[in-house]
Structure formats: structure tokens, C-alpha cells
Amino acid sequence: MPENSLKEDLKKVGIERDPSKRSASFIMIDNKPMVSFARGVEILSTKEALKKYDWLEEYSWKLIEKRENDFDGYFIRVPRGLKVEFPVEACLYLKRIKNQNVHNIIIVEENSELNLITGCTSEKLSGIHLGISEFYVKKNAKLTFTMIHNWKKKNEVLPRSAIRVEENGVFINNYILLSPVKYLKAYPTAYLDKNAKAVFSSIIVGFENSEIDLGSRVYLNGENSSAEIISRSISRGGKIIARGHLIGNAENVKGHLECKGMILGSGTIHAIPELEASNPNVDLSHEAAIGKIAEDEIFYLMTRGLSRDEAISLLIRGFMEIEIKGLPEILKREIDRAIELVEKALI
Amino acid sequence: MDRDVMRIVNLGVEIDGKKILQNVNLYIQKGQTLALFGPNGSGKSTLLMAIAGHPKYKVYDGRIIYKGKDIKDLKADERVRMGIGISYQNPPKISGVKLREVIKHCAKIGGTEDKIDEYVKLLKMENLVDRDVNVGFSGGEIKRSELLQLLLMNPEFVMLDEPDSGVDLENIAVIGEAIKILLERDKPKEERKKSGIIITHTGRILRYVDADYGVIMYKGRIACIGNSYDILKTVEKYGYEECVRKCLRTL
């Protein structure tokens, strides 16, 4: 593939490879990891990191059960008290091989902050991407993790992610799926300690012949912990299962789940919001809705001079607009750009 | 040349197969504003929606002739481009779409890009333009938002559906001011080029904006035409039914 179109592919998923815009850049083509540059944060391939640090065994395959062997990926560690200004980017690129097996470990030490953008994309029309990510957000730390996926029609994508958030820690997860994909199944799960907070937002589009089973799950294990799960699913001929699961296990935990779906023309959406509590003093709620674009809204915008297509486009855009609290401006721009691509693909 | 900018001829409108308007005839001249009265459910909003081109409001009979052209088969945005503008009594709330985005389109239609700031200020909308359209707006804020959009669209034919309902005293003067500009009621009679229809339930807005005449719509028909203040007084005193009966006797 020519260098230019690789660059374009990477840009689509938020990968700039530009030191003036990113703190660090990592790319893994097939099973070959490579660090382009890094400032402030430590970034290595997982295999290297495991060789370098004995203590990393305490983190590796501890949140997620090991099922297969031979994995590599990225290891990122933000030292104590460091607030990384520019985002760190990591790209997983499926080029030639049939199976890409990825294992990532991210550690954000106490009182530090990191914005991590990962983009996954494929040159190959088919192939399986299996990505394991283990996140550790320590006390008072904050991690904003934004993942943009752009697959080919016959890719199968099976990420497994788990996140441990310690006292007063914050984890914000944004996920955007831009493209058709044969099969995608993921159910990232966060475990919250005292006063910790997690926010999951996802925007997914299911095109024809795509099957997507995506959800987010949060265990509110520490008192006063809180969680929010927001998902927007648009089906245009695809099959989408939108899940969400909040489990309240401690005093004064709070959680809200919002699952909204829109069917454009044809397709199916199955929303499965779940709430579970083992403590009487919890406040968990959910709302789920599936529908089409309201005719009155289209008409309203048409009487403001928009054509029918322009009105529909603006309304779809509005549907995907999620206000994510605490999201840095630079990431908001990346997400807006990704949403624009979704919009283009839809209309 | 034809002085009538809008001619509604034998108009019949149905919603989901149910006839709402029958045999409605109305001629509105250039520069004229008409006040449209009538009890709830009489068909006032239906008439505006049919003129604006809502696909749910089906014209089963008659014609809507605007500037000499029958517009009943045109799409809503095509009618807007011909100079027709509408403000709603209860516009939809649109999550995720910022009012600023919508007023940009309005200004493009009206060629009023340079007036955005001025009108935003006039209607005290500074704190609302970056919010989602009508989401969490109060009654008065919704009306102000509607008028801001119309002012920017700068239509030749203005339709206002109860611009004064649910508006408090503080807001009514601002709204009255905006409508005066919209309908050129601040200009001498002979200079006015804009025409329109104001639906008003209470007639409150007429204290700020005058109308050339009033019309009562009753059970889907035009039942009465006269001086708007006389109509209002009669309705206040006797109620719609009695007013219409008196009218029909004299017609």
C-alpha cells in the first residue's frame, strides 16, 4: 500500500504521527510493534516491557483471563503526578496476517493524567483482530481513552478490555465505530473503588452485513463510586446488540445508563440495559429508546430552508452528539472529526 | 398587477383522512397583516401548516396561490425559498442540534448574515444560541427563538402561530418589537411590502402590532371577517359561537 493512503487510513482513526500534536506515537503493523516517539510517558512493546520489568507480572493477565498465547502490543506508563499535555496515540494495523493478537497494558500512576487515542484499522479485507487491554488507573489519576475503529467489511474484531479504577480515579472511555465490519463483539468492564468514576460513551453504526454486539459494564464496588454509560446506535441494514450493565455493590453508588438507537431504513437493534444491586443504598437508573427520525423535526428544519437531506443529516449528527463531561478540547475535535466521517458514510 | 400576494381558494385540508378545513377562502394583499382568531381546534394552525407544506396536512381540495403560483405541490423548503416563513406555537425540541447551526441556515436564506448579532441581541438570545434547539427553553424563550429565526429568514409572507401564548409581560414587548420589524408595521402603510397572518388566541399581541383586519375561523371554515378590534371585543363579550352567529347574520 502506498505511504500516502496508509497515512490517510491512519488519520481517519485519529493517528497523526506528529510530535507537535502528540506526546507519543506507537504503531503495530500485524504483529510488529514500533514506537515512533515519546515524551514524558513510557511506551514500549508489551513483550519488551515484560522483559524489562519483573513487577509487570502483577499487572499482566490480572484483569482478563488468559486464553491464548503469543501476544504483543503496547505498554504505557505515566509516572506519578505527571499530567500529559498532548494525547498519546497507538495504532493497531492489520496488514497481511490472518490473526492479529494484541495485548496492551496501560498504567496511569497516582495523581497523573493521560489522554490515549487508539485507532484500529485494516488493509486486509478479511482477518481477525483480537485485542486485550488491561487498564490501571491509580488513586486520583485520570485516563481518557478514545478508540476509533475503521474496519473492512470482512474483518472480525474481538477486543476484551478491563479497567481497574482506584480511589478518586476517573476513567472516560469513548468508542466510535466508523465502518462496516463483519463481526464485532466487545464488553469492556470497569471495576471501581471508593469515589472512583467511569464514563463510557459509544457511537456505533451498523451497516448491511455487519453484526455488532457491544456493551459496557461497570462494577461499582467502592462506596460513592459512580458510572455513566451512554450509547448511540444507528443501524442501516446491520444487526446491533447494544448492551449496558451496572452493578451496584457498595454504599451510595450512583449509575445511569442511556441506550438510544435509530434505525435508518432497515436493520435491527436490540438494546439490553441491565441493572443489578446488592446494596440497598444505590441509585441506578436506565433509559432505552429505539426509533426513527421524527418527521416533525425534519419538517421544522425544512421550514428553515434546509432540504430534506440536509435536515436528515443534521438530525443524525445531532443524534450522535453526546456531551461528554471532562473531555479535553483536543479529543473533542478528534471525536467530531470521526462523527463527520460517520455522517458522510451514512448519507 | 395582482395585489393579492396570497390567495387561498376553496381550500380543503385533511389529516390522516380526517377533514379539518373545508372550503377556506382568503385573499391577502401585499403589505397586509391579518389576525386569525378562532377557538381551539377550529383549524387555525392547520391552515398555516398546509401553507407551509407539512406533508401530513394533505390538501384534498382547492389551491394555495402564492405570488401567482399554485404552491400546493411544492416541498416546504421550496416554499421557504419563495419567501414563506412560519413560526410555531409548539416547535419540536431537537437534542444535539445547536440553535446557532439553525440560525446560520436562516441567515443564509434571508441574506442576513451580517444581522445575526443585532437580532440575537434584540431578542435577548445571547445565552441561548449555543444550546440545543428548544431543549429546556421556557415558553417565552421558545417564542423569541422562533422570531429570531424568522427575522433572519426575512420572509415576504410571515405566518405566526400564537406568538403571544405563554409569554410573560417582560417578553411580550420584545416579541411585539420583533413582529413589527418582521411585518414592517413600523413603516408607513404605503411602504409595506410584507404580508402575513398572526394567529392569536387572546389578542394580546395586537396591543403591540396592529392588524389590517381580523378573521374568525370556526369549525374548519372562515366564519367572519372584520375589524380585528371589533372581533376581539365581540368575542370577549359573547364568546366565539355568538360572535360567529352575529357575523353570519350580517354577512
Distance CA A178, CA A163 (A): 24
What is the per-residue pLDDT for A325? Answer: 66
Per the CB < 8 Å rule, is A301 touching B149?
A: no
Mutate to test the interface with B, among A297, A299, A317, A322 (most CBs of B within 10 A): A299
pLDDT of residue B245: 84
Task: Note whether B92 contacts A: Cβ–Cβ < 8 A.
Answer: yes
Is A331 a residue whose pLDDT tops 80? Answer: no
Note whether B105 contacts A304, CB cutoff 8 Å: yes
pLDDT band at B246 (very low <50, low <70, confident <90, very high): confident
The answer to whether residue A336 scores a pLDDT higher than 90 is no
Does position A273 have pLDDT exceeding 60, yes or no? yes
A184's CB contacts (< 8 A; 6+ apart) are A149, A151, A156, A157, A158, A177, A210, A211, A212, A213, A214
Partners of residue B88 in chain A, C-beta under 8 Å: 300
Interface membership of B156 toward A (CB under 8 Å): no
Supply the DSSP string of A187-247, one letter for each residue. --EEEE-TT-EEEEEEEEEEETT-EEEEEEEEEE-STT-EEEEEEEEEEEB-EEEEEEEEE
Q: What is the pLDDT of residues A191-250, one digit of tens each?
A: 999 999 999 999 999 999 999 999 999 999 999 999 999 999 999 999 999 999 999 999
Nearest chain B residue to A312 by CA: give it.
B97
Spans of all domains in chain A: 1-183, 187-292, 296-347
- Burial (CB < 10 A; 0-12, 13-18, 19+), residue A196, is buried
Please report, to the nearest 10 degrees, the dihedral formed by the alpha carbons of residues B195, B179, B53, A293 taken in order: 170
Above 80 in pLDDT, residue A63? yes
Residue A154 is predicted with a pLDDT of: 87
B91 touches A: beta carbon within 8 Å? yes
> Do the bridges between strand B157-161 and strand A183-186 make them parallel or antiparallel, or are there none, so unpaired?
unpaired
Is A305 in contact with B108 (Cβ distance < 8 A)?
Answer: yes
Average pLDDT over residues B24-53: 95
Percent of chain B with pLDDT over 70: 98
Q: Is the pLDDT of residue A94 over 90?
A: no
Q: Is residue A77 pLDDT above 70, yes or no?
A: yes
**CA angle A76-A232-A168, nearest 5°?**
40
> Which residue in chain A has the smallest CA separation from B148?
A304
Which of B56, B85, B92 is nearest residue A297 as measured by Cβ atoms? B92
B76 touching A, CB under 8 A? yes
What mean pLDDT comes out for the span A297-319? Answer: 94
- Which carries the bigger pLDDT value, residue B159 or residue A346? B159
Please report which helix (H) or strand (E) contains residue B99, including its range. helix B99-110
Show me where the domains of chain B are located: 4-250
Confidence of residue B249 (pLDDT cuts 50, 70, 90): low
The pLDDT value recorded for residue A223 is 98
- Report chain A residues whose CB lies below 8 A from the CB of B89: none
Contact A138, A165 (CB under 8 A): no
Complex ipTM > 0.90: yes
User: pLDDT tens across B170-225, in order?
Assistant: 889 999 999 999 999 999 999 999 999 999 988 889 989 999 999 999 999 999 89
In chain B, which residue's Cα lies nearest the Cα of A322? B96
B69–A contact, CB cutoff 8 A: no
Give the closest of B75, B85, B106 to A302, CB-based. Answer: B75
| Arithmetic mean of pLDDT over chain B | 93
Q: What is the mean pLDDT of residues A139-151?
A: 93
- Predicted confidence at residue A326, as pLDDT, reads 65
**Contact between A318 and B56 using a beta-carbon 8 Å cutoff:** no
What would the mean pLDDT of B103-125 be, rounded to a whole number? 96
Nearest-CA distance A314 → chain B (Å): 7
Angle among Cα A159, A165, A167 to the nearest 5 degrees reads 175
Query: Could you read off the pLDDT of A157-189 as tens digits, one per residue?
Result: 999 999 999 999 999 999 998 888 999 999 999
**What's the gap in Å between the CA of B87 and the closest CA on chain A?**
9
Q: B4-250: what CATH class?
A: alpha beta
pLDDT greater than 70 at residue B159: yes
